[in-house]
Each structure stands twice: as structure tokens, then as C-alpha cells.
Amino acid sequence: PSAAFLKETKSGNIVEFYLTSRRTSGAEDTIRVVAKEELLANYNYGDEISIIGSVKTRNEDGHLLIYVSAEEVNECEGNDIDIVEIDGFVCSKKELRKTPLTEQTILEMVVAVNNKFGSSYIPCILWNGLAYTFKDVVVGTEIKIKGRLQSRAYVKALSETETETRTAYELSAFDVEKVEDK
């Protein structure tokens, strides 16, 4: 993999790079990955690899950066598989809305996932039936989500005459369940 940056830490060198995963539709998602350099020692740019790790977020220059913190890097075996499972708490959600191009119903929410270093805030999108099922979920509810980490381009209006194309990263859910009180 091609390193976007390399930084020295107490536990060794850390590399940040991008991994591309192809959806069944043919669209490609580009996901930021952070890994210890030693995990990549046996691989070169262009090799097909699989990553096992945790989805995390950090704020950088006022923007939420979503990335996978790699715990394992392996040779890729077969088709692209992009499956993410999180267990967290709904910390914000929007109203149901229709997508502009396909008129599908979506529900956008942010889920806080706690870890030993704090919390990561994962933007999630629920589609159609899942969106209707969870439209009334209240902030603070614990949920489990299974989905895929995706990237998508969008156009941000900076002024009446200026726009900028940006990339959004989100967990596109295909299975959601409410965690019942214990």
C-alpha cells in the first residue's frame, strides 16, 4: 500500500493509506486505514489485502475523519467483503428523508461507540424498511448495527456561486437491532 503519511510513535511507525473495496453494484469505496508499519511488511502497493480492525474517528481541522485501525493484515482471499459491526448509543439522528436521485427513504444517525481511549462517533445511514423501523428511536438508545463502510462524493455549496466536491464516509446499515435493557 502507498502511505499517505508515516509517523513515529512509541510503539513503532504508523502508516496511513487507503484501501479500495468494490460493491456488488460495481461502485468502489475508498476507506482510510491506519496500521503499524510492521503489519504491511510483506505487502506492496497494489496487492490485494484484507484488514481486520476497529472503525474509529478523530477530529482534524474541524472535520470528522473516519478510519479503520488495522489489527491484522492478511492476503485477500476471494471477493471483496466489507462488513462492519458496531455496538453503540444513538447520539443524534435526523428526520426521515428521500434521496434526491433514487427517491429511497433514509434515516441518518450518529452512533457513539465507546472504547478504552474514549468514543468514536460513526455516521450511519439506514435505508427504506430499516429507516421506517428506527425512525422513532430515541437518543441514548443502545443499538447494534451491521453494515458496510462506504464512501460517497457530494457537492457542498460554499456560497451562491462556489461549490466543492467532498467525500462522506458512513456505515451503510443492512441489519440493526435495539439492545434490550439487561
Stated pTM of the model: 0.81
Q: How far is CA 74 from the centre of its chain?
A: 20
Of 1, 35, 5, 6, the closest CA to residue 18 belongs to 1
| Size of the chain, expressed as the number of residues it contains | 182
Per-residue pLDDT in tens (0 to 9) along the chain, 182 residues: 334 444 545 556 888 888 888 887 888 888 889 999 889 888 888 888 888 888 999 888 878 888 999 998 888 776 667 788 999 999 999 999 998 888 999 999 999 998 887 889 999 999 999 999 999 999 999 999 999 998 888 888 889 999 988 888 899 999 999 998 65
123 by DSSP, 3-state: which?
Answer: strand
Contact of 109 with 135, CB cutoff 8 Å: no
**Residues with Cβ within 8 Å of residue 141, at least 6 apart in sequence:** 89, 90, 178
